[in-house]
């Protein structure tokens, strides 16, 4: 049995997703919350999976989901989002989310995604497969594009700003900052923060 927590900003959307989970024999909906309250819901219910609906277009996956996906022992997170773009999907996967899918999927497709994610698989919409696969298979010499938030973090790293201060300035958690730093280093093929800054300067991503 897969223990599932539902997360969405709207009570109506949460109710709809709860009915989706309840329709499957192998899924038990153990809780529901807003995205802001999801961390507490996970701690309380200890689910195997989370079904989270992002109800408006965002340039990046929500900070709450990024931070939760990066936690040790985090449940499999399945995200439903409108206006999906491959870059958004790739960012979510780097954060550790298991499935990123359009919000207009039917019940059977959503249930199948939850079951697959809980089993340790990654689930993507077909339109995202080619771009995400290309990004993941890029050779070491190829630098992947940084997201707008990563460029902000990189600029602060160049100024010598500590993670705690970066978190305060951007209104995110220190854990999320660490995730962004790790992602920046991976994209720039850098072994240290200093090397990441150096690469950023050489490639015109930041100026000092």
Domains of the chain: 2-136 (3.40.50.2300), 148-202 (1.10.10.10)
Structure tokens at 199: 């690469």
pLDDT, tens digit, 9 for 90 and up, residues 84-100: 666 677 777 777 888 88
Percent of the chain beyond pLDDT 70? 86
Q: If you count them, how many residues does the chain have? A: 208
For residue 38, the SS3 value is helix
With bands split at pLDDT 50, 70 and 90, how would you rate the model's confidence at 141?
Answer: very low
Its pTM stands at 0.66
* Whole-number Å distance between alpha carbons of 72 and 77: 13
């Amino acid at each position: 049995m897969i223990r599932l927590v539902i997360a969405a900003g709207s009570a109506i959307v949460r109710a709809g997703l709860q009915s989706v989970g309840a329709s499957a024999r192998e899924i038990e909906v153990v809780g529901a919350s807003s995205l802001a309250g999801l961390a507490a819901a996970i701690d309380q219910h200890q689910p195997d999976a989370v079904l989270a609906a992002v109800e408006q277009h965002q340039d990046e996956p929500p900070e709450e989901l990024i931070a939760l996906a990066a936690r040790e022992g985090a449940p499999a997170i399945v995200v439903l989002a409108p206006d999906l773009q491959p870059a958004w999907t790739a960012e979510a996967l780097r954060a550790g989310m298991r499935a990123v899918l359009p919000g207009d999927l039917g019940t059977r497709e959503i249930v199948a995604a939850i079951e697959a994610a809980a089993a340790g698989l990654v689930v993507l919409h077909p339109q995202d497969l080619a771009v995400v696969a290309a990004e993941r298979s890029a050779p070491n010499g190829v630098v992947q594009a940084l997201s707008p938030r990563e460029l902000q973090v990189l600029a602060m790293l160049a100024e010598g700003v500590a993670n705690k201060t970066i978190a305060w300035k951007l209104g995110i958690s220190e854990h999320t900052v660490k995730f962004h730093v790790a992602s920046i280093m991976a994209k720039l093929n850098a072994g240290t923060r200093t090397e990441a800054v150096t690469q950023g300067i050489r490639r015109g991503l930041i100026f000092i």
